[in-house]
């Protein structure tokens, strides 16, 4: 029996009459079978591959057959823009069978919310943060609203799994699951994830249902790829404008500043340009999305000059901006997953090939783009790392549960939180230790045996009725910059401030260089001193952005081979050959990628930023007074009398278990790490939890240890 025939007759008729469909796609058939049989599922399909319908048709069918009392289904998206983008589509699917959908997020007006609470729609579309607001709101009868909830569908699940927001969502879902009289069915949708079985296990939480990964074979598709090298951003943007002539394009950039510079150059070249990033107003972003989705034909503009949205990763998720002709990329993203998500914006029309053109400023970007392409051709994509000791969200959830319903007992809190996969590695003894700390420090207080919000947390998060508390990420705010004497200099966005380190980082403001003296997060002030002449902001002064081991190893493989890649333009091929000529001799005659130059030893590990950062501390421990610096592919060592022979000996020492089993050494390392601000809840963390969070972000002792164990045999 086909899945289509198992759908409610009213839905079958609507699909044929309203949508004009005569059959379902393979992913919709397989997903429908799993969901109608009651399984939890992770559904994988390319962008525009039919994932939404694969999850929603069975969901709607079940609600047609048995009308829910209150909300029957949740659709959760990581960002409001994706909710808004899907609202019309899901509104059509529900309306055509006599059901309703409602969108609830931060921009939903109060009158609409009151109407929904009085007469709930069967399908509720929301974000994780808005969902929690409902649970603590005094005017929401959550037991009545979610008592008959049957299923939750999480779109772009890879954007949440393994993150603080994912841990937050799983905790909120467990709280909602207690309200429902059903074993809540859980469904995740994604275009790119390398470990779907692990994501499914994470997603299931306390559910006792069976689980299934739906990943039908993907038909072969044409791809058009090009990597070009242009040594200046101005030249890069000008060539991109020529390529975008007469077409609809997305141009992805890796930073907001690059986005703005590229957009300005393309405008001067005559391209109609929209800008889309987190600092652009909501109205401007919506204008870009709507104009592309509805208002432009393939000619794009009346004069045929073309139109382009220049954006950061804000358009990487599944926001539909209609059929596109081209995806352009400034330099290269950090992951194969991002590359595939972005390329998936094209190739949707019959006869059109999915395409991406990389415009690379440096030889490193050419190499990185080529590595991403070759890994994607092999069918490889990154695994989403799952976590089980997520301290920031554990504290966040304690605070929100303490705020709701007049508080919560310690036993009740543990009973709930211990079911959340992202906290599963935290023992009861560690949990009790954290509670003792929060009570002593003022994050919590105890009243009649209940944990309630403490004075420190109330001062930090109590403004606007605790609204800032309900997001695990920090809302964009400005910090004022002062001299040590108290003279105001200007302001910085929190996203930038969170990457600064006291006494280390430097930056430009008002045309002058400044060194960070100290950052005060409670009143959002940054105190600075004038930077010494010639001092520039250094990579080590900011939270590093790491490349993964697999991408870096593929970069190494490309340098050590002689393969020609047809998608490289002449200049890109030339800079790749130059890098090969420089690197290949370092891996010949047993040199193992190690060279001595200019009074320092360089080890070209191509191991990724996290492993290299860990190797830094290991080498400093065994090497004596060496000064070690690292990036994603290189470890550099300086010191009195350092030689390649001594450096080899140090690496061999790192291959012994004693270094990695030395608990005191790695405890000292954790305590010495820069005080990066990775969560807005760090102010409430005990030192031992904060050190673990920072160390987990910066270090990977297991992977570094494995790397060193393999070193003698692989080099």
pLDDT of residue 539: 32
In the beta sheet, which residues pair with residue 284? none
Mean pLDDT value of segment 215-227: 88
**Is 380 part of any domain?**
no
Residue 506 is classified by DSSP as E
> 152 and 12, same structural domain?
yes
pLDDT of residue 92: 97
Distances (CA, A) of 526 to 279, 370, 694: 20, 40, 21
Only one residue has tokens 């275009």, namely 191
pLDDT of residue 383: 94
**Is 197 part of any domain?**
yes
Quick one: pLDDT band at residue 216, thresholds 50, 70, 90?
Answer: very high
Residue 538 has pLDDT above 50, yes or no: no
> 517 and 449, same structural domain?
no
Residues 6+ apart with CB under 8 A from 687: none
Could you read off the pLDDT of 185-209 as tens digits, one per residue? 999 999 888 999 999 999 999 999 9
- Residue 553 and residue 558: Cα distance in Å, rounded? 9
> 125 and 104, same structural domain?
yes
Closest CA to 457 of 372, 397, 513, 526: 397
Residue 365 has pLDDT above 60, yes or no: yes
- Residue 320 and residue 247: Cα distance in Å, rounded? 17
Tokens of residue 38, six digits: 């009651």
**Is 584 part of any domain?**
no
Residue 666 has pLDDT above 80, yes or no: yes
Asked if 634 and 612 touch (Cβ cutoff 8 Å), the reply is yes
pLDDT of residue 485: 87
In the beta sheet, which residues pair with residue 276? 311
Quick one: pLDDT band at residue 138, thresholds 50, 70, 90?
Answer: confident
The terminus-to-terminus CA distance of the chain in angstroms comes to 57
Residue 271 has pLDDT above 80, yes or no: yes
> 449 and 313, same structural domain?
no
> 196 and 237, same structural domain?
no
Tokens of residue 502, six digits: 């006291």
Quick one: pLDDT band at residue 510, thresholds 50, 70, 90?
Answer: low
Mean pLDDT value of segment 300-317: 71
CATH number at residue 442: 1.10.10.10
pLDDT of residue 305: 61
pLDDT of residue 446: 96
Which domain-ending residue is among 507, 525, 541? 541
Could you read off the pLDDT of 151-176 as tens digits, one per residue? 999 999 998 999 999 999 999 999 99
Find the Cα–Cα–Cα–Cα dihedral 170, 171, 175, 178, rounded to 10°: 60
**N residues, the chain:** 715
If 0-12 CB within 10 Å is exposed, 13-18 middle and 19+ buried, where does residue 663 land? exposed
Residue 314 has pLDDT above 80, yes or no: no
> 163 and 77, same structural domain?
yes
pLDDT of residue 713: 43
Quick one: pLDDT band at residue 710, thresholds 50, 70, 90?
Answer: confident
Only one residue has tokens 């069975």, namely 58
pLDDT averaged over every residue in the chain: 88
pLDDT of residue 347: 78
Only one residue has tokens 């005569």, namely 22
Which domain-ending residue is among 424, 448, 470? 470
CATH number at residue 312: 3.40.50.300
Domain tally, the chain? 5
pLDDT of residue 554: 97
Closest CA to 114 of 137, 139, 136: 139
- What percent of the chain shows pLDDT beyond 70? 92
If 0-12 CB within 10 Å is exposed, 13-18 middle and 19+ buried, where does residue 294 land? exposed
Least confident stretch, 349-353, 554-558, 577-581: 349-353
**Is 367 part of any domain?**
no
Quick one: pLDDT band at residue 299, thresholds 50, 70, 90?
Answer: very low
Residue 241 has pLDDT above 70, yes or no: yes
pTM value surpassing 0.95: no
- Residue 599 and residue 636: Cα distance in Å, rounded? 10
**Is 652 part of any domain?**
yes
Quick one: pLDDT band at residue 279, thresholds 50, 70, 90?
Answer: low
Q: What domain range is 531 assigned to?
A: 478-541
> 271 and 140, same structural domain?
no
> 129 and 263, same structural domain?
no
**Is 492 part of any domain?**
yes
Least confident stretch, 160-164, 272-276, 471-475, 708-712: 471-475
> 231 and 332, same structural domain?
yes
Find the Cα–Cα–Cα–Cα dihedral 499, 505, 508, 513, rounded to 10°: 170
pLDDT of residue 318: 62
Least confident stretch, 81-95, 187-201, 506-520: 506-520
Mean pLDDT value of segment 640-644: 85
- Residue 362 and residue 94: Cα distance in Å, rounded? 50
Quick one: pLDDT band at residue 562, thresholds 50, 70, 90?
Answer: very high
Residue 136 has pLDDT above 50, yes or no: yes
Asked if 56 and 153 touch (Cβ cutoff 8 Å), the reply is yes
Residue 590 has pLDDT above 90, yes or no: no
In the beta sheet, which residues pair with residue 483? 528
> 85 and 26, same structural domain?
yes
> 485 and 466, same structural domain?
no
Quick one: pLDDT band at residue 37, thresholds 50, 70, 90?
Answer: very high
State the SS3 of 531-558.
Answer: CCCCCCCCHHHCCCCCCCHHHHHHHHHH
Residue 602 has pLDDT above 90, yes or no: yes
Quick one: pLDDT band at residue 387, thresholds 50, 70, 90?
Answer: very high
Query: Which comes out higher in pLDDT, residue 474 or 669?
Result: 669
Quick one: pLDDT band at residue 319, thresholds 50, 70, 90?
Answer: low
Q: Of the segments 139-153, 493-507, 523-537, which one has the largest average pLDDT value? A: 139-153
Which domain-ending residue is among 332, 357, 382? 357
Mean pLDDT value of segment 502-512: 71
Mean pLDDT value of segment 281-309: 67
625 phi and psi, to 5 degrees? -95, 25
Query: Which comes out higher in pLDDT, residue 702 or 76?
Result: 76
Find the Cα–Cα–Cα–Cα dihedral 646, 650, 651, 656, rounded to 10°: 140
**Is 505 part of any domain?**
yes
DSSP, collapsed to helix, strand or coil, labels residue 493 as: strand
Could you read off the pLDDT of 106-116 as tens digits, one per residue? 889 999 999 99
Mean pLDDT value of segment 585-599: 85
> 463 and 438, same structural domain?
yes
pLDDT of residue 474: 53
């Amino acid at each position: 029996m086909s899945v289509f025939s198992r759908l409610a007759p009213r839905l079958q008729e609507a699909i044929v009459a309203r949508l004009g469909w005569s059959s379902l796609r393979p992913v919709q058939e397989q997903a429908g079978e799993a969901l109608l049989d009651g399984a939890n599922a992770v559904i994988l399909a390319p962008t525009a591959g039919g994932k939404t319908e694969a999850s929603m048709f069975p969901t709607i069918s079940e609600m047609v057959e048995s009308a829910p009392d209150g909300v029957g289904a949740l659709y959760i998206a990581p960002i409001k823009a994706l909710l808004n983008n899907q609202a019309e589509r899901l509104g059509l699917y529900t309306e055509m069978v006599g059901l309703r959908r409602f969108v609830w997020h931060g921009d939903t007006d109060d009158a609409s919310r009151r109407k929904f609470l009085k007469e709930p729609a069967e399908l509720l579309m929301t974000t994780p943060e808005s969902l929690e607001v409902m649970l603590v709101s005094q005017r929401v009868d959550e037991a009545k609203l979610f008592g008959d909830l049957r299923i939750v569908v999480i779109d772009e699940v890879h954007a949440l799994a393994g993150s603080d927001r994912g841990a937050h969502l799983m905790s909120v879902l467990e709280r909602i699951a207690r309200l429902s009289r059903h074993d809540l069915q859980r469904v995740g949708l994604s275009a790119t994830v390398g470990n779907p079985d692990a994501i499914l296990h994470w997603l299931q939480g306390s559910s006792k249902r069976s689980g299934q990964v739906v990943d039908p074979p993907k038909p072969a598709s044409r791809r058009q790829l090009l990597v070009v090298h242009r040594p200046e951003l101005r030249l890069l943007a000008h060539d991109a404008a020529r390529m975008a002539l007469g077409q609809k394009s997305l141009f992805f950039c890796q930073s907001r500043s690059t986005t703005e510079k590229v957009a300005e150059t393309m405008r001067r070249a005559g391209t109609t340009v929209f800008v889309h990033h987190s600092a652009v107003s909501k109205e401007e972003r919506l204008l870009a999305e709507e104009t592309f989705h509805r208002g432009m034909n393939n000619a794009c503009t009346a004069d045929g000059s073309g139109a382009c949205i220049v954006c950061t990763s804000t358009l990487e998720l599944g926001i539909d901006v209609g059929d596109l002709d081209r995806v352009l990329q400034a330099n290269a993203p950090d992951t194969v997953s991002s590359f595939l998500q972005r390329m998936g914006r094209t190739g949707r029309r019959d006869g059109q090939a999915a395409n991406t053109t990389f415009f690379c400023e440096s030889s490193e970007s050419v190499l990185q783009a080529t590595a991403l392409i070759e890994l994607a051709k092999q069918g490889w994509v990154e695994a989403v790392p799952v976590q089980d000791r997520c301290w920031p969200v554990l504290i966040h959830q304690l605070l929100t549960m303490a705020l709701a319903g007049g508080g919560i007992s310690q036993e009740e809190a543990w009973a709930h939180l211990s079911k959340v996969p992202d906290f599963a590695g935290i023992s009861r003894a560690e949990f009790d230790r954290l509670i003792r700390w929060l009570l002593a420090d003022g994050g919590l207080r105890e009243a009649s045996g209940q944990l309630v919000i403490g004075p420190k947390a109330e001062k930090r998060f109590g403004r606007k009725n605790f609204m800032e508390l309900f997001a695990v990420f920090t809302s964009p705010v400005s910090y004022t910059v002062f001299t040590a004497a108290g003279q105001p200099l200007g302001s910085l966005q929190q996203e930038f401030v969170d990457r600064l380190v006291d006494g280390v980082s430097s930056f430009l403001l008002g045309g002058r260089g400044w060194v960070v003296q100290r950052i005060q997060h409670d009143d959002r002030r940054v105190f600075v001193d004038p930077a010494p002449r010639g001092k520039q902001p250094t990579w080590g002064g900011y939270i590093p952005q790491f490349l993964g081991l697999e991408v870096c190893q593929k970069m190494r493989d490309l340098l050590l081979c002689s393969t020609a890649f047809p998608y490289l333009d002449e200049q890109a091929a030339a800079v790749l050959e130059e890098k090969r000529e420089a690197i290949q001799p370092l891996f010949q005659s047993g040199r193992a990628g190690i060279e001595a130059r200019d009074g320092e030893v360089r080890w070209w590990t191509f191991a990724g930023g996290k492993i290299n950062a860990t190797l830094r501390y290991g080498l400093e421990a065994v090497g004596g007074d060496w000064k070690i610096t690292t990036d994603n592919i290189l470890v550099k060592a300086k010191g009195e009398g350092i030689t390649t022979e001594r450096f080899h000996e140090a690496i061999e020492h790192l291959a012994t278990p004693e270094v990695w089993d030395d608990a005191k050494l790695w405890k000292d390392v954790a305590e010495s790490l820069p005080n990066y601000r990775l969560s807005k809840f760090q102010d409430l963390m005990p030192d031992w939890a904060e050190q673990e969070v920072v160390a987990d972000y910066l270090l990977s002792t297991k992977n570094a240890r494995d790397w060193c164990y393999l070193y003698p045999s692989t080099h």
